[in-house]
């Protein structure tokens, strides 16, 4: 019998199925060791065949089977096929998503302990018969184990004498057995919370989710009790003897969230997230695999939880960008969730206070079912958002980053002993160009997205079509020379605040201060426990903790994300404002939000301050339709990079010619196609080129483009080439 094996090497030239002679114990889905070149490497059996095209004398046998059971189920084998086809991935890169990273290569295993007990022949005997009078340690440890019946060897070694334990073991008086020990995060929390009584709206939402044969979009304002709806759906799913997966953005996977799940579901729940130790991660994963836990809670990668009979998949904060993987292997979590739901006949619910345009559009045209929670559970109203026109500040001679209003509000907040959050709406590296006097922003005439200033060439560029524009000296609208370019960082804001309020304790939270594992949780925890007065931060502060004493939220430069060169820039801005405003006045204190902008007339501020999601959606979806962006098209990007600039150029030339030929035959499927340097022209010594296209959503030409990418990899071995669907970041 021939076993079909995928080997654990991530390279295009071995991204195929290899034939080996099958051995006993190797099943479909088994992890195996196979001879490859001069050594044995790991691989996965994906199937069997009677015969092989490889000559008999060249065929080698599988060396060994690694685990005591197949670890890739039929569902995951099919999911691998689906993902490789949809996202154009290597099989092995997909397989690697299915197991905890450190499990590969045997770097982590189950933790086992030696449990000592007394050989039954000796239990009722008189120890004087076999323990010498002088061997006090042996007598002590013998008596102890006789009393407790069994104990961990490490405990006995530490509390009695290791030599005595060894001696009794060697003489067969003690026996030892290996027992698996689970490393369980947050295991201290075991008491079960009783569920709250759901409101009528919540009950209605649960019924909709559990009875719908389509995915449900749960549209509920912040504080409307979405979490209780998820918990109730999970309970119902467990009651049907099915399993559940709950996905949350990594950044909001706080200890609070985990406690909620542990206290409601106890050991039924396994937590998967990057803050766990490798051992904990492995054990939690293993508990899911072996059916000891039935609920997986985690970030994006928990969608691959090794559960069988999945009855429910929850995607909380469905609009969050972290659900798209932006490094290899690139995949869209929702698509994987839909695949698993289809395979298992499971329900899917996606929740948000600010659903993505794509999802609300799908809910409007019947692809999803809509469930709504329009009110907050505690009936508290949303904080008022005041919009400050920063152009006026400039006119009155204040060219700093804080408006007079924000300074006085900060002063008031601090002197009354409350806390404030200063939020910087920053995304990515790019910088737009804006007139500080009238708020004019340079935009692409063709694409209506903001232009990006490229300092090295002193030009403005559109990242969607690569059209170039001269850098501005004067504002074309008001002729002012107050042109603002570049971005300010959280560091500068924190410094300025420190100068203005020397006695205030300031915490800064951004990519720089949260590099280490759990750093963001620690900073948020410090702030929550009152160890600081002001939290200055980026997107990271927008989610997660509830802060009872925060009465002021300042949005320093709301335009930053608004004019990011991204067709979703306005949508992201609306989401961020809604989310960050939700941080003010969560508990009994009422909150206030001050939003600073140079373009106060922009429609996003009108809708955001009125908390009018539907109004915003209506306006935005029309614009997306008019400009032909997703969900009305699909953006496909082929990125080609190489150490050698000439090779990258040659490969790109080859690819664009091939794709142009496709476009000529299927003109209806393409609305845009061009090749260009990537906005980040060189990363880590590699030159980067890209081919951008907009095609009909889910068009068959996507596969044709993938085929071109495969051909490229064959023809130009010195390049790397990957493809992306609707990328969040076109850098």
Q: Which one of residues 196, 474, 519, 610 is an interface residue with ligand ADP (CB under 6 A)?
A: 196
DSSP calls for 150-191: EEEHHHHHHHS-HHHHHHHHHTTSEEEEEEEE---TTTT--P
DSSP category for residue 382: P
Stretch near ligand ADP under the rule CB under 6 A, chosen from 192-200, 281-289, 337-345, 628-636: 192-200
Q: What is the largest CA-CA distance in the chain?
A: 105
The residue to which tokens 């080129």 are assigned: 689
* Shortest distance (Å) from residue 475 CB to Zn ion: 3
Q: How far is the CB of 705 from Zn ion (least distance, A)?
A: 21
Q: Which of 8, 75, 93, 228 binds ligand ADP (CB under 6 A)?
A: 228
- Give the whole-angstrom CA distance, residue 529 versus residue 534: 12
Q: Decide if residue 438 touches ligand ADP (CB under 6 A).
A: no
- Using CB atoms within 10 Å of the CB of residue 124, give its burial: 0 to 12 exposed, 13 to 18 middle, 19+ buried: exposed
The verdict on 232 binding ligand ADP (CB under 6 A) reads no
Closer residue to Zn ion (CB): 160 or 464: 464
Q: Does 631 bind ligand ADP (CB under 6 A)?
A: no
Q: Does 227 bind ligand ADP (CB under 6 A)?
A: yes
Q: Is 224 in the site for ligand ADP (CB under 6 A)?
A: yes
> How is residue 565 annotated by DSSP?
S
Q: Which are the contacts of 537, defined by CB distance < 8 A and separation ≥ 6?
A: 421, 422, 423, 424, 490, 507, 508, 509, 510
Reference 504, options 401, 413, 423, 400; nearest CA is 413
For tokens 């759906």, what's the residue? 233
Question: Radius of gyration (Cα) for the chain, nearest Å?
Answer: 30
Sole binder of ligand ADP in the list 40, 119, 157, 222 (CB under 6 A): 222
Closest separation between CB of residue 196 and ligand ADP, Å? 4
Structure tokens at 630: 């997703």
377 binds ligand ADP (CB under 6 A): yes
Sequence-ordered list of residues with C-beta below 8 angstroms from that of 517, at least 6 positions apart, any chain = 274, 275
Please, what is the minimum distance in Å from the beta carbon of residue 521 to ligand ADP? 18
Count of residues in the chain: 731
Sign of CA dihedral 325, 326, 331, 333: positive
Binding residues (CB under 5 A) for Zn ion: these are: 435, 437-438, 440, 444, 446-447, 462, 464-465, 467, 475, 477-478, 480
Of these, 33, 63, 182, 198, which contacts ligand ADP (CB under 6 A)? 198
**HSE-CB of 146 using CA atoms within 13 angstroms:** 16
Do the strands 634-642 and 719-725 form a parallel or antiparallel pair, or are they unpaired? antiparallel
226 part of the interface to ligand ADP, by CB under 6 A: yes
Q: How far is the CB of 260 from ligand ADP (least distance, A)?
A: 8
- The CA-to-CA distance between both ends of the chain, in Å, stands at 49
The pattern of x and - marking residues 5 through 34 that bind ligand ADP according to CB under 6 A reads ------------------------------
**Residue 438 binding target from Zn ion, ligand ADP, none, CB below 5 to 8 Å by type:** Zn ion
From the list Zn ion, ligand ADP, none, which binds 264 (C-beta under 5 to 8 Å, kind-based)? none
Least distance from ligand ADP to the Cβ atom of residue 272, Å: 20
For the window 148-187, what string marks contact with ligand ADP as x by the rule CB under 6 A? ----------------------------------------
CB of 480 to Zn ion, least distance (A): 5
Instruction: Please tell me whether residue 220 binds ligand ADP under the rule CB under 6 A.
Output: yes
The whole-angstrom separation of Cα 675 and Cα 655 is 9
Q: Does 731 bind ligand ADP (CB under 6 A)?
A: no
- Eight-state DSSP code of residue 105: G
Rounded Cα distance between 111 and 344, Å, is 32
Of 179 and 445, which CB lies nearer to Zn ion in the complex structure?
445
Candidate residues 30, 84, 202, 573; the one interacting with ligand ADP per rule CB under 6 A: 202
What is the spatial distance between Cα 419 and Cα 553, in angstroms, rounded to a whole number?
Answer: 9
Report how many residues bind ligand ADP under the rule CB under 6 A: 14
Dump the DSSP string for 272-285: E-TTS-HHHHHHHH
> Which of the listed partners (ligand ADP, Zn ion, none) does 222 bind, with a CB threshold of 5 to 8 Å by partner kind?
ligand ADP
Contact 719, 651 (CB under 8 A): yes
Identify any residues that bridge with 363 across adjacent strands, giving them in sequence order. none
Instruction: Select the binding partner of residue 248 from ligand ADP, Zn ion, none (C-beta < 5 to 8 A, by kind).
Output: none
Binding-site partner at residue 477 among ligand ADP, Zn ion, none, CB < 5 to 8 Å by type: Zn ion
447 binds, among Zn ion, ligand ADP, none (CB under 5 to 8 A by kind): Zn ion
Contact between 223 and ligand ADP by CB under 6 A: the answer reads: yes
Q: Pick what 202 binds: Zn ion, ligand ADP, none; C-beta below 5 to 8 Å, kind-dependent.
A: ligand ADP
Distance of closest approach, residue 377 Cβ to ligand ADP, in angstroms: 4
Please state the closest distance from residue 378 (CB atom) to ligand ADP, in A. 6
Residue (388 or 581) nearer to Zn ion, CB: 388
Considering beta carbons, is residue 203 or 665 the nearer one to ligand ADP? 203
**Interaction between residue 199 and ligand ADP (CB under 6 A):** yes
Q: How far is the CB of 441 from Zn ion (least distance, A)?
A: 10
Instruction: Indicate the helix (H) or strand (E) that contains 338.
Output: helix 333-344
How many CB atoms sit inside 10 A of residue 214's CB?
A: 13
* Residue 444 Ramachandran class (φ > 0 left, ψ -120 to 50 alpha, else beta): beta
Q: Which is nearer to Zn ion, 304 or 464 (CB)?
A: 464
Q: What angle do CA 447, 598, 448 make, to 5 degrees?
A: 5
User: Interface with ligand ADP by CB under 6 A: which residues?
Assistant: 196-199, 202, 220, 222-228, 377
């Amino acid at each position: 019998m021939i076993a079909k094996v995928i080997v654990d090497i991530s390279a295009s030239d071995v991204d195929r199925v290899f034939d080996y002679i099958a051995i006993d114990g190797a099943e479909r889905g088994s992890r195996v060791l196979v001879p490859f070149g001069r050594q044995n490497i790991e691989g996965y059996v994906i199937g069997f065949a009677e015969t092989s095209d490889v000559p008999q004398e060249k065929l080698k046998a599988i060396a060994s089977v690694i685990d005591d059971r197949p670890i890739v189920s039929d569902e995951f084998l099919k999911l691998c096929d689906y993902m490789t086809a949809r996202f154009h991935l290597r099989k092995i890169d997909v397989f690697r998503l299915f197991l905890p990273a450190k499990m590969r290569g045997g770097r982590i295993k189950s933790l086992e302990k030696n449990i000592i007990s007394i050989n039954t022949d000796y239990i009722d005997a008189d120890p004087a018969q076999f323990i010498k009078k002088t061997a006090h340690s042996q007598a002590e440890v013998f008596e102890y184990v006789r009393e407790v019946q069994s104990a961990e060897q490490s405990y006995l070694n530490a509390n009695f004498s290791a030599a005595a334990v060894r001696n009794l073991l060697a003489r067969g008086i003690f026996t030892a057995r290996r027992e698996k020990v689970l490393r369980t995060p947050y295991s201290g929390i075991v008491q079960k919370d009783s569920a709250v009584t759901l409101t009528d709206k919540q009950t209605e939402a649960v019924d909709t989710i559990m009875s719908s044969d389509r995915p449900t979009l749960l549209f509920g304002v912040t504080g409307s009790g979405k979490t209780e709806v998820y918990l109730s759906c999970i309970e119902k799913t467990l009651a049907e003897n099915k399993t559940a997966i709950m996905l949350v953005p990594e950044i909001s996977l706080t200890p609070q969230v985990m406690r909620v799940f542990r206290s409601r579901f106890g050991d039924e729940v396994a937590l998967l997230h990057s803050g766990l130790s490798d051992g904990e991660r492995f054990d939690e994963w293993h508990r899911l695999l072996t059916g000891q836990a039935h609920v997986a809670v985690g970030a994006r990668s928990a969608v691959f939880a090794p559960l069988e009979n999945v009855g429910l998949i929850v995607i909380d904060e469905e609009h969050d960008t972290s659900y798209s993987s932006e490094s290899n292997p690139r995949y869209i979590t929702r698509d994987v969730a839909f695949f698993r739901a289809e395979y298992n006949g499971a329900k899917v619910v996606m929740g948000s206070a600010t659903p993505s345009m794509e999802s609300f559009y799908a809910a409007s045209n019947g692809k999803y079912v809509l469930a709504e929670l329009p009110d907050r559970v505690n009936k508290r109203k949303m904080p008022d958002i005041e919009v400050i026109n920063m152009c006026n500040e400039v006119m009155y001679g204040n060219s700093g980053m804080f408006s007079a209003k924000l300074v006085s509000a900060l002063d008031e907040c601090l002197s009354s002993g409350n806390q404030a959050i200063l939020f910087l709406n920053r995304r990515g590296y790019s910088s737009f160009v804006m007139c500080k006097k009238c708020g004019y922003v340079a935009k692409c005439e063709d694409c209506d997205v903001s232009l990006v200033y490229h300092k090295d060439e002193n030009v403005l560029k559109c990242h969607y079509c690569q059209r170039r524009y001269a850098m501005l000296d004067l504002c074309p609208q008001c002729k002012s020379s107050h042109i603002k370019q570049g971005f300010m960082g959280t560091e500068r804001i924190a410094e300025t605040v420190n100068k203005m309020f020397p006695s205030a304790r300031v915490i800064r939270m951004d990519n720089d201060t949260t590099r280490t594992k759990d750093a963001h949780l620690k900073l948020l925890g410090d702030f929550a426990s009152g160890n600081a007065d002001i939290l200055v931060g980026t997107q990271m502060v927008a989610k997660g903790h509830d802060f009872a004493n925060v009465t002021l939220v300042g949005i320093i430069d709301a335009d930053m994300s608004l004019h990011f060169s991204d067709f979703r820039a306005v949508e992201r801005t609306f989401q961020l404002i809604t989310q960050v405003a939700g941080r003010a006045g969560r508990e009994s204190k009422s909150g206030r939000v001050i939003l600073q902008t140079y373009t106060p007339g922009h429609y996003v501020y009108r809708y955001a301050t009125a908390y009018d999601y539907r109004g915003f959606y209506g306006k935005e979806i029309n614009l997306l339709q008019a400009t032909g962006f997703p969900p009305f098209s699909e953006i496909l990007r082929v990125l080609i990079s190489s150490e050698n600039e000439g090779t990258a150029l040659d490969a790109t030339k080859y690819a664009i010619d091939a794709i142009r030929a496709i476009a000529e035959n299927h003109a209806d499927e393409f609305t845009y196609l061009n090749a260009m340097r990537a906005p980040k022209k060189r990363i880590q010594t590699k030159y980067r080129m890209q081919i951008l296209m907009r095609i009909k959503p889910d068009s068959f030409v996507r596969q044709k483009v993938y085929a071109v990418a495969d051909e490229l990899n064959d023809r130009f071995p010195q390049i790397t080439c990957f493809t992306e669907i609707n990328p969040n970041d076109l850098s």
